[in-house]
Chain A
Amino acid sequence: MSINVNGAPVALPQDPRMSLLDLLREQEHLSGTKKGCNQGACGACTILVNGERILSCLALAVQYDGQEITTIEGLGSADDLHPIQRAFVQHDGFQCGYCTPGQICSAVGMIAELQRGVPSHVTDDLSDEAIAFSQEEVRERMSGNLCRCGAYNGIIDAITESVAEVAQ
């Protein structure tokens, strides 16, 4: 019984009440995943489960037995940044940096959703196989990730710049 976090097995918690977020932060000391509300309203705890973005504060850890989880630490390190992490630095897509890991994980999951043709509220044609990248689509799809410092313009620029690289 274990969860695969960034390629390494992690034991399930003994307490079934433990969220995936608390498992990462308190048990595994993977504190790159942030707690901003613990009720699914801010997006700071966004991680990738089998490539799809979820809010880890709303997920009970024991439900993720055998799943593949990627956190911000699994995308890149400070010495070896993922292209989208590099773009966030270049475009100043953050100030305090607290919502940032969630924004980045969310962006990676969001780009995959565009590729898979998952429609959003602003998608014109629901039958499209892949959704064209547009600023409006990105803004709509990233709206679950709050940034109180107001780095939204930089975040959109960073995603725009790195979308091709991330999509590969």
Chain B
Amino acid sequence: MSLIESGKALAQGLMQGAMAKAVALAPDSWIPGGEPDPLIRHQHGSIGKPVSRIDGPLKVAGAAPFAAEFPMADMVYAAIAYSSVARGRIASLDVAAAEAAPGVVLVMSHHNAPRLKPAPLFMSDPKAAAGDSIPVMQDDAICWNGQPIAVVLAATQEQADHAKSLIRVTYEAEAADTDFEAAIAAGTKPSQFMGQPLHDKLGDAEKALAKAPVSIEADYRTPRHNHNPIELHAVTLAWDGDTLRIHDAQQAVAHSAWTLAQVFDLQPEQILITSPYVGGGFGSKTLWQHHIIAAAAARMAQRPVRLMLTREGVYRTVGGRSLTQQHVALGAEEDGMLTALIHRGVTAKTAHNVMPEPFILPTRSAYAARTMLLDVQQVELDMISNTFMRAPGEAVGTFALECAMDELAEKLGMDPIDLRLRNEPEKDPISGLPFSSRHIAQAWRDGAARFGWDARSAVPAARREGEWLVGLGCATATYPYYRMPGGAARITLSREGEATIDIAAHEMGMGTSTAQTQVAAERLGLPMERIRFNYGDSTLPGLVLAGGSQQTASIGAAVIAAYNKLVAELLALAGNDSPLAGLKPDEVGSQDGGLAKLDDPSRHESYASILNRAQRAAISVEAEPPQPLETMHWSMHSHGAMFCEARVNVVTGEPRVTRFLGSFDCGRILNPKTAASQFRGGIIMGLGLALMEETQFDERSGRIMNPSLAEYHVPVHMDVPEIDVMWTDIPDPHTPMGARGIGEIGITGTGAAVANAIYNATGKRVRDLPITLDKLL
């Protein structure tokens, strides 16, 4: 980010700060969510039912089409060549043999690529989605090891792959910054996240720490991670004149359409992205260079293109989570009350993105410490631009914080759950805002009872079963409620009593389409079979990122806005001959396929009847929800109490997780079946973070050394025990449907719960992830 851009971001941050104060002081009723969503009162409808996924039959039959599975006539296949130096220039690039190879239609490189504008970086504009801002094949500059330098289009994938192998390139390499420690030694800079400094101060924490009767200090390290959705990043696309149609694997269809329009200097409506099924994303499926490469090459070749990155290609060109070095210092009274909480450290980003891993985020609202000092510093390296990965900040920040809490509990001679409950804050410790809904204590109590926490020995290495040392550990999970601006939805209601919801949202496996169909059915008073939920299409209303666990709230609020408009229009259509005559929108609700007076359901008229009388085949309304001011008025967070039983083999050092329980407080659960899968999926990725996941980065060459699923280990069946999940199901009165997002919280706290269990089993405190057997021998 340039100095000017930094200045702009800072000014924006200051303005947000001033506005935040005004919003914090406003009466509840002025704020979205100030009046609880009426659906929160509905207890026996379709919300809360364990409905099986509505797209389930298609998926298990292999009939759900993913991005690389749409056929197109005359389509050609792409293969990308990647740089093997981290910084410098391309000295020579010989593509003659590749161009002459059988089946080759085009070789595109900086020699012949069309002039393109830089892609607007994610967070530089509300609609921007690009993972890096480096020009794509516009000159001979190399900015990271793995940067695409040429693409081959050929009639078959085999031909494209072969031709790519014939490309000859030489580089003038320059000295690159690829060593984290060396970069830290050369000096760090303060970090910003979404226009706000990653720095918080409450009192004088260093002084308080020095005076604290009991204190601990420790350093924690977390490595780079890659998302590794099993579906490779892919596009199948074609130009129709100046209109580009893309079948994509996307978690930001509208953002990406707008961003590509900037690159190709087109109107956003000229880019049409559909993405009905996405084979996992976890933060990785936004806009990356392969989109631009495929679109530019297709335009040059005048042919439709299928570009499916290889697994190595994903590692080379789609960023992952950056590494962190964190220092936590805790000071406490003898009774466990925290007097000082310091959480600071360094992360790495690139000069071409704005994404420092914000690991202090979970600490801000965690504990009622009397003083706090939170700070993220950054260095910039020459590497693939890192990005959001499931619970950016919280996933690795909770590892450090919650391990430190365990270390403090031991030093105090306290139970680690008691220590956490003793420091439960009344209001948000940093912002001072009231919590919208916080039932973490109940989650801890319920979880501890179910898990059998009583059986834990406070003394480490006290339980041995054969070759195995067995231990129990716990940690707090936390993730905020977000709702991003830009949502919108359309509801179309037909005379036949069928409703269609249109919104440019996403289904990557979260269960969005199923849960939102349940919600829409309940809101409209219709059976689920009468609801059609359309999503995954950039031409639909709304700017809805599948990120930040915010889709449920974003869709919920947009549909509420559209529904309120629908009710007003239906009442106007109903006129004076209706049982609803004279009623105002806030006096009616939906019931049994129509509208009814809330306190006198006998005054009811069906949608079909209203539309028939008005001689209308259908009614369609579109609306935008209010700005998400609720997050500036309340401190809104989900929590979980995570419990782990780990075993460590005394002969081999092998760590195994044998039991895990997540006890969550995430507002109302809309669908227990899909929600349980979201919680478990997050926890399993957390087991990977704890025990095996690491993107190995060669600090000499800046090259990722394990760009494959054979060498980057993710949890497999044998690594995953039965994972128990439970939840309070207490609605948040200030969110749509009373729900808060659940997609990311599972990965938070899990790493610490595992590390704490391993400590309890062995007496060995591993502060450097992943906890592999060599660290336990």
In contact, A97 and B52 (Cβ under 8 angstroms): no
CB distance from A148 to the nearest CB of B (A): 5
Partner of B282, one of A15, A40, A148, A154: A148
- Determine the chain A residues whose CB is within 8 A of the CB of B716 once the complex forms: 143-146
Residues 259-280 of B contacting A (Cβ, < 8 Å): 277-280
* B682 at interface, CB cutoff 8 A: yes
In contact, B60 and A31 (Cβ under 8 angstroms): no
**From A88, which residue of chain B is reached at the shortest CB distance?**
B60
- Determine the chain B residues whose CB is within 8 A of the CB of A138 once the complex forms: 717
The segment from B224-232, B327-335, B413-421, B615-623 that touches chain A is B224-232
- Determine the chain B residues whose CB is within 8 A of the CB of A155 once the complex forms: 717
Tally of chain A residues near chain B (CB < 8 A): 62
Question: With A41-B710, A97-B509 given, is the CB distance from A15 to B279 under 8 Å?
Answer: no
In contact, B683 and A147 (Cβ under 8 angstroms): no
* B540 at interface, CB cutoff 8 A: no
In contact, B230 and A104 (Cβ under 8 angstroms): no
Question: With A95-B681, A146-B709, A148-B230 given, is the CB distance from A17 to B311 under 8 Å?
Answer: no
* A153 at interface, CB cutoff 8 A: yes
Question: With A25-B69, A89-B56, A149-B280 given, is the CB distance from A32 to B62 under 8 Å?
Answer: yes
In contact, A31 and B509 (Cβ under 8 angstroms): no
Interface string of B277-302 (1 = CB under 8 A from A): 11110100000000000000000000
In contact, A92 and B58 (Cβ under 8 angstroms): no
Interface string of B30-66 (1 = CB under 8 A from A): 0000000000000000000000110111111111111
* A99 at interface, CB cutoff 8 A: yes
Residues 74-116 of A contacting B (Cβ, < 8 Å): 76-79, 81, 85-86, 88-90, 92, 94-101, 104
- Determine the chain A residues whose CB is within 8 A of the CB of B681 once the complex forms: 95, 149-151
- Determine the chain B residues whose CB is within 8 A of the CB of A3 once the complex forms: none
Q: Interface of chain B, helix or strand or loop or mixed?
A: loop
* A56 at interface, CB cutoff 8 A: no
In contact, B52 and A89 (Cβ under 8 angstroms): yes
In contact, B230 and A99 (Cβ under 8 angstroms): yes
In contact, A42 and B709 (Cβ under 8 angstroms): yes
Q: Interface of chain A, helix or strand or loop or mixed?
A: loop
- Determine the chain A residues whose CB is within 8 A of the CB of B674 once the complex forms: 92, 95
A40 to B674, CA, bound (A): 29
- Determine the chain A residues whose CB is within 8 A of the CB of B282 once the complex forms: 148
In contact, B53 and A89 (Cβ under 8 angstroms): yes
Question: With A148-B714, A151-B681 given, is the CB distance from A78 to B63 under 8 Å?
Answer: yes
In contact, B68 and A150 (Cβ under 8 angstroms): no
Partner of B723, one of A37, A96, A140, A153: A153
A44 to B280, CA, bound (A): 13
Residues 144-190 of B contacting A (Cβ, < 8 Å): 156-159, 162
In contact, B710 and A148 (Cβ under 8 angstroms): no
Question: With A97-B279, A150-B681, A150-B684 given, is the CB distance from A104 to B60 under 8 Å?
Answer: yes
- Determine the chain B residues whose CB is within 8 A of the CB of A144 once the complex forms: 716
CB distance from B757 to the nearest CB of A (A): 19
Q: In this complex, which of A30, A95, A140, A150 has the most chain B Cβ atoms within 10 angstroms of its Cβ?
A: A150
* A54 at interface, CB cutoff 8 A: no
- Determine the chain B residues whose CB is within 8 A of the CB of A72 once the complex forms: 60-62
In contact, A15 and B680 (Cβ under 8 angstroms): no
Q: What is the size category of the interface that chain B forms with chain A?
A: 35 or more
Interface string of A9-46 (1 = CB under 8 A from B): 00000010110001001100111111111111110100
**From B678, which residue of chain A is reached at the shortest CB distance?**
A95
In contact, B62 and A98 (Cβ under 8 angstroms): no
**From A39, which residue of chain B is reached at the shortest CB distance?**
B708
In contact, A149 and B677 (Cβ under 8 angstroms): yes
- Determine the chain B residues whose CB is within 8 A of the CB of A77 once the complex forms: 61, 63
CB distance from A64 to the nearest CB of B (A): 17
CB distance from B377 to the nearest CB of A (A): 31
In contact, A35 and B232 (Cβ under 8 angstroms): yes
In contact, B708 and A149 (Cβ under 8 angstroms): no
CB distance from A75 to the nearest CB of B (A): 8
In contact, B279 and A154 (Cβ under 8 angstroms): no
Residues 682-717 of B contacting A (Cβ, < 8 Å): 682-685, 708-710, 714-717
* B676 at interface, CB cutoff 8 A: yes
- Determine the chain A residues whose CB is within 8 A of the CB of B232 once the complex forms: 35-37
Residues 129-167 of A contacting B (Cβ, < 8 Å): 138-140, 142-156
- Determine the chain B residues whose CB is within 8 A of the CB of A33 once the complex forms: 62
What are 13 contact pairs spanning A and B, CB under 8 A? A15-B158, A17-B158, A30-B62, A41-B710, A72-B62, A76-B61, A81-B60, A85-B57, A85-B61, A88-B56, A96-B230, A98-B231, A146-B709
Q: Which residues of A line the B interface, CB within 8 A?
A: 15, 17-18, 22, 25-26, 29-42, 44, 71-73, 76-79, 81, 85-86, 88-90, 92, 94-101, 104, 138-140, 142-156
Q: Which residues of B line the A interface, CB within 8 A?
A: 52-53, 55-66, 68-69, 71, 156-159, 162, 227-232, 277-280, 282, 308, 310-311, 508-511, 673-674, 676-678, 680-685, 708-710, 714-720, 722-723
Question: Top 5 A-B pairs ranked by shortest CB distance?
Answer: A32-B62, A98-B279, A97-B59, A95-B509, A96-B509
